[in-house]
Structure 1
Amino acid sequence: MPTLDVRDIPPVDRHDTIHDEFAAMEPGETLTIVNDHEPKPLFYEMAAEVEAFDEEGYSVTEAAPDEYRAEFPKRE
């Protein structure tokens, strides 16, 4: 399961980086994103634009005030 910590990536580059990483995954894999805030805008963007994104399998947990872990599964 790939993990991408985007906290050190400039905000302007985060979504493109995430989309590239997600596209490179195999069907059935899940991309874990570590972020400094809950990635709600990214969730809505993925749900609207990425057919392979399994929005029903999405989950997010707050590990610390500045650490959110979001699971973005790719459909099989």
Structure 2
Amino acid sequence: MPRLDVRDIPPVNRHDRIHDEFDGIAPGETLTIVNDHEPKPLYYEMAAEVPDFDEEGYEVRKDAPDEFVAEFPKVEG
């Protein structure tokens, strides 16, 4: 499962990098994002703009105060 830790990426560049990574995964795969905050704005952006994003399968958990792990699944073919 592809995993991207964006905590070291400047915030202004994070969404573009995440979109690029998501575009590169196969249908049915899930991109796991590690972030320093809950990625609600990204979730809403993906839901509105990315038809291949399976928003029903989205999950997020807080593993530490500065570590949120979010699952962004891509719809199957």
Say yes or no: TM over 0.5: yes
* Runs of 4+ displaced beyond 2 Å: none
Say whether 1:43 aligns with 2:43.
yes
Once superposed, what is the RMSD of the aligned Cα atoms? 0.2
Say whether 1:25 aligns with 2:25.
yes
CA distance in 2, matches of 1:39, 1:55: 13
CA distance in 1, matches of 2:69, 2:11: 17
Aligned residue pairs, count: 76
The alpha carbon displacement at 1:67 in A equals 0.1
The alpha carbon displacement at 1:24 in A equals 0.5
Say whether 1:55 aligns with 2:45.
no
CA distance in 2, matches of 1:52, 1:14: 19
Question: Quick one: percent identity of the two aligned structures?
Answer: 78
Amino acid at match of 1:60: V
Cα deviation code 1:8-59 (max 9, x no counterpart): 0000000000000000000000000000000000000000000000000000
Amino acid at match of 1:41: P
| SS class of match (1:37) | coil
CA distance in 1, matches of 2:7, 2:58: 20
CA distance in 2, matches of 1:2, 1:45: 20
